[in-house]
Amino acid sequence: MFDAYHDPESCCLEETRVELLFKLNQWMEGLDVPGVQEKKIYAGMYSKKVVWLSGLAGSGKSTIANTFAVAIQRQRFHLASFFCKRDDAERSAAKNILSTLSYQLTILYPEYREAILNLLRSPESGNVLKGVLYSQVKELFTKALANMKKPLVPLVLVIDALDECNNQGKVVAGLVSIAQAIPWIKIFV
């Protein structure tokens, strides 16, 4: 499922970006990737759970993200994704990233859906939904996912063009906290 503005027509041409896509697949499978060092992604954190693709504007990062999203779905992994876009208010709002990913997780995991429904029925739901990004991440992701049994199928979150989103620093902090708290999630940004 990558209906959050994913464009399956915008994938790499055959026989292009083969080495990079191979390394991303190795990373997704949890294999050591030769020549790839752990990257510093935020506030001194190093992790094999997060890949941050960087490059110049127009260098094909979104095309790679689209191709990788398709590859995730073709394999045995679950996918939740969001593709940001600066000139689209809906696709550049940080709150929409989290709500879209959360919605996608409710479809993938019935146990997560029940946790979110319980949260929404609780008296403090208004505080969470209107609250700051950190409390939303804590309640909608970290707590709800931590209480689940480890699923048989790992999950990869793909967030493309995060630099085109408002509050990107807060989103990065939220993603890092999710990656640290939930061992069966990997994040591609």
3-state secondary structure of 159: strand
pLDDT tens-digit readout, 143-174: 899 888 888 888 999 999 999 888 888 888 88
**What are the start-end ranges of the H helices in the chain?**
18-29, 61-74, 94-108, 110-121, 125-130, 133-136, 144-146, 168-181
Q: How far apart, in whole angstroms, are the C-alpha atoms of residue 40 and residue 74?
A: 29
Query: Which whole number is the average pLDDT over 107-124?
Result: 90
User: 51 has which bridge partners?
Assistant: 188
- Give percent of the chain with pLDDT exceeding 70: 86
Query: Which whole number is the average pLDDT over 119-138?
Result: 77
Q: What pLDDT is attached to residue 8?
A: 67
Q: Mean pLDDT lowest for which of 5-9, 86-90, 175-179?
A: 5-9
Look up residue 36 and give its two tokens: 């790839």
pLDDT tens-digit readout, 98-110: 889 999 999 999 9
Task: Residue 84: count other Cβ atoms within 10 Å of its Cβ.
Answer: 25
Angle value at C-alpha 105, between 88 and 148, nearest 5 degrees: 150
Reported pTM: 0.86
User: 40 has which bridge partners?
Assistant: 46
